[in-house]
C-alpha cells in the first residue's frame, strides 16, 4: 500500500519508500499545481496516471537517461538527415505538441496526458519551466517532444511523430540546441527498447537523483529558451 494525501496536507515521502511492484509507485493524491510539479521533478518524481484514478506519483528504481553527446545516430537516420526534409523550432508551438502527444498516444496505446495534465504543463510552459521542440515539414507539424527543465536536466515527458524519424529528429534537435547552452542530461523516465537503441542508459534511482542534484544549480543560457527556429 502507498500513502494517500489530500492536496491540503500533501507531502512527498522519501523516494526510497517507492514500491518495487509496480516499480516506483510512491504516493497518491495532491494536485497538479505548478509548485507541486516542480518540487516533484526536483526530487526525481513524476506524475503518471489515467483518467478516473487519483494522481499517482512515481520514482522508479531504474531510470532511462541520455547523455546528449551519446545519442546514437544509426546509418539509416544519418542518411535521412542528409536529405534535410524537416525544419525545427523551440518553444513555438508547445500547446500543439502536447495535444498531438495526447492524441497519438490515445489512439495507439492509451494516454495519461489528460486535459488536467495538459493544463498543468501549459502553466509550467507559461512560467518558463516546460519546453517543446517542434518538427515541421512544409509548414505542417509532423513531430515533437516536450518536458520540464530542472537546472541543466531536461525531464522528457512525451514525444510524437507523424512522419519518418520525426520524434528522433526532435530529440537530436533538443540536444543540438541546448547542449551549447549548458544541458547535461535528458531524463526519459522508463527504459524501453526504442530508447536503448537510441543510446539511452539505465541508471539507478540514487544515481539519477545524484545527477539531478548536481545539475540543478546550473541554469541554461536564457537566450536558448526563447521561442525560436533552431537547426539540426
pLDDT tens profile 79-115: 999 988 899 999 999 999 999 999 876 655 656 799 9
Q: Are residues 28 and 101 in the same domain?
A: no
Pairwise CA distance, residues 37 & 227, whole Å = 23
At 2-57, the pLDDT tens digits run 999 999 999 999 999 999 999 999 999 999 999 999 999 999 999 999 888 899 99
φ, ψ for residue 49 (rounded to 5)?
Answer: -160, 165
175 Cβ partners below 8 Å, 6+ apart? 66, 68, 69, 71, 183, 186
The pTM is what? 0.94
State the CATH number of the domain containing residue 35: 3.30.70.3550
Q: Are residues 98 and 170 in the same domain?
A: yes
Residue span of the structural domain in which 31 resides: 4-60
Q: Is pLDDT of 217 > 90?
A: no
Pairwise CA distance, residues 202 & 182, whole Å = 22
Q: Are residues 25 and 71 in the same domain?
A: no
Q: Are residues 125 and 182 in the same domain?
A: yes
Cell numbers standing for residue 35: 509548485
Q: How many other C-beta atoms are found inside a 10 Å radius of the C-beta of residue 5? A: 15
Domain boundary among 60, 76, 99: 60
What is the rounded average pLDDT of the residues 54-83? Answer: 94
Q: Please give the tally of structural domains in the chain.
A: 2
Q: Are residues 47 and 86 in the same domain?
A: no
3-state secondary structure of 2: coil
At 169-180, the pLDDT tens digits run 999 999 999 999
Q: Are residues 121 and 165 in the same domain?
A: yes
Residue 117 sits at the vertex; the CA angle it makes with 113 and 122, to the nearest 5 degrees, is 115
State the CATH number of the domain containing residue 124: 3.40.630.70
Amino acid at each position: 500500500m502507498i500513502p494517500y494525501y489530500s492536496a491540503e496536507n500533501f507531502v512527498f515521502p522519501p523516494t526510497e519508500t517507492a514500491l518495487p511492484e509496480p516499480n516506483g509507485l510512491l504516493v497518491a493524491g495532491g494536485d497538479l499545481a505548478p509548485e507541486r510539479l516542480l518540487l516533484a521533478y526536483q526530487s526525481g518524481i513524476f506524475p503518471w496516471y489515467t483518467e478516473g484514478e487519483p494522481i499517482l506519483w512515481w520514482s522508479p528504481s531504474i531510470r532511462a537517461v541520455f547523455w546528449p553527446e551519446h545519442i546514437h545516430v544509426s546509418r539509416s537516420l544519418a542518411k535521412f538527415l542528409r536529405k534535410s526534409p524537416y525544419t525545427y523550432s523551440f518553444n513555438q508551438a508547445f500547446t500543439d505538441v502536447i495535444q498531438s502527444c495526447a492524441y497519438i498516444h490515445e489512439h495507439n496505446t492509451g494516454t495519461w496526458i489528460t486535459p488536467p495534465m495538459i493544463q498543468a504543463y501549459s502553466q509550467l510552459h507559461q512560467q518558463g519551466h516546460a519546453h517543446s521542440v517542434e518538427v515541421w515539414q512544409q509548414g505542417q507539424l509532423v513531430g515533437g517532444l516536450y518536458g520540464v527543465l530542472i537546472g541543466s536536466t531536461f525531464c522528457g515527458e512525451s514525444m510524437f511523430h507523424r512522419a519518418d524519424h520525426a520524434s528522433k529528429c526532435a530529440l537530436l534537435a533538443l540536444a543540438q540546441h541546448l547542449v551549447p547552452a549548458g544541458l547535461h542530461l535528458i531524463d526519459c523516465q522508463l527504459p524501453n527498447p526504442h530508447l536503448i537503441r537510441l543510446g539511452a542508459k539505465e541508471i539507478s534511482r540514487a544515481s539519477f537523483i545524484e545527477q539531478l542534484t548536481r545539475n540543478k544549480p546550473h541554469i541554461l543560457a536564457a537566450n536558448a529558451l526563447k521561442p525560436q527556429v533552431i537547426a539540426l
